[in-house]
Structure 1
């Protein structure tokens, strides 16, 4: 049986997809009239039909290639927060993300290898927002521990309350996805715990607290705050934010004081 003819449409497909034809010594083009012509395969000395490098640097409408990449990434991140935070990670497809981001499907893989990679990127941005808000609100580090904790927690909870999508991504959608996501989640939560412990770590009375105790304090602190935020978000942010922040601040201050005042063995 005669092999089907290869017409110019074949080269148009290769050109459009920016993929060179299969490597070979020659490429045989068979025309419908039965004649064939052998062409040299592309090599280092032949000019390519399509060059990514020659196009990627062009500006369109005053927007550079770098700016286009950054804009598409931003659109996909925003779409990820919207869909993961409303529809849910497991129910969201690449096609839905691209539709929400208003970009072609092929641009997704220009930025991310998978929806899991996008989830991690969205998660990183969400947790960075929380941490930045808490740190900015701390103020004078010489204030009482409870006052510092209250200010930091109130700012932290304010970000959560203002964007329920963030709460869903940070505390719900990342759970049970994969070992890689689980590792990122645990590391970030411990980082939040370290931030809370850092409020008292610089005080003189905390200087001789063993490192293992600091790590346990961080784990305990973030565990209390995280579970409280999960139940608070699930209850449609009831009770009021200031009451939640005050209660958590008292708990953290009391736990910290108990650890600092406990007798050291040895």
Structure 2
């Protein structure tokens, strides 16, 4: 046992033990995306994942307790890619642009990422119904996307606040639900519609939400 531990800390070919661990974890994450995004989470096995990652089975358990942990890690990376695409696009928008033009710019970046079918399957299919823990993670992600969209709404519609007939948090949730369901439908159709059509359609949806709120905000100004 001592010899194994000592060998685990040695550098081979100029690669340290820490670097080897990180490389193997990266290989498992990449294999997880491929496997979960093709055969699906429920058909995946540790052995199959390790073969796809080109690592010995024992290395899986050095990084993950079970396949659900790998699924959550892969899902987290997918969500980070989607979030970063939207945030980076928002940072580049011209504040003088109209609402729909901005929506097109942000959504196009977002849906470009969704054109990765492995990512789309993991995000919109494979995390559903797995376990309460995964379900809570999924709901938390939807809440975070709702908060991101709410920031977008307030940036272009002013200080929108809830009222007797409006709950802005629910409004953002409804909009995210529409975008999310459209993304899932687009993936399941085999990306039948052109991306520009999907983006333009959703930009119209967001415009129809934001523009009336912006008009109300202007009317409330002294």
TM-score normalised by structure 1 residue count:
0.75
Q: Which runs of 5+ in 1 are unaligned?
A: 1-14, 16-48
CA RMSD of aligned residues (A): 2.1
Query: Is contact 1:134-1:151 (8 Å) kept?
Result: no
Counterpart-to-counterpart distance in 2, 1:113 and 1:230: 29
Q: How does 1:181-196 map to 2 (within 5 A)?
A: 181-196=134-149
Query: Is contact 1:190-1:218 (8 Å) kept?
Result: no
Query: Is contact 1:141-1:199 (8 Å) kept?
Result: no
Q: How does 1:28-67 map to 2 (within 5 A)?
A: 49-50=2-3, 52=5, 54-67=6-19
Q: Paired residues, what number? A: 214
Q: How does 1:1-266 map to 2 (within 5 A)?
A: 15=1, 49-50=2-3, 52=5, 54-138=6-90, 139-140=92-93, 142=95, 143-161=97-115, 163-203=116-156, 205-210=157-162, 213-261=167-215
**More helix by proportion, 1 or 2?**
2
Counterpart-to-counterpart distance in 2, 1:219 and 1:244: 19
TM-score normalised by structure 2 residue count:
0.89
Counterpart-to-counterpart distance in 2, 1:77 and 1:151: 30
Query: Is contact 1:148-1:199 (8 Å) kept?
Result: no
Counterpart-to-counterpart distance in 2, 1:69 and 1:180: 26
Counterpart-to-counterpart distance in 1, 2:143 and 2:210: 17
Query: Is contact 2:93-2:105 (8 Å) kept?
Result: no
Secondary structure, counterpart of 1:92 in structure 2: coil
Counterpart-to-counterpart distance in 1, 2:71 and 2:25: 13
Counterpart-to-counterpart distance in 2, 1:262 and 1:172: 38
Larger radius of gyration: 1
Counterpart-to-counterpart distance in 2, 1:214 and 1:109: 44
Query: Is contact 2:154-2:160 (8 Å) kept?
Result: no
Q: Which runs of 5+ in 2 are unaligned?
A: none
Counterpart-to-counterpart distance in 2, 1:178 and 1:141: 42
Bigger RCO (CA 8 Å, 6+ sep): 2
Query: Is contact 1:164-1:233 (8 Å) kept?
Result: yes
Counterpart-to-counterpart distance in 1, 2:93 and 2:202: 20
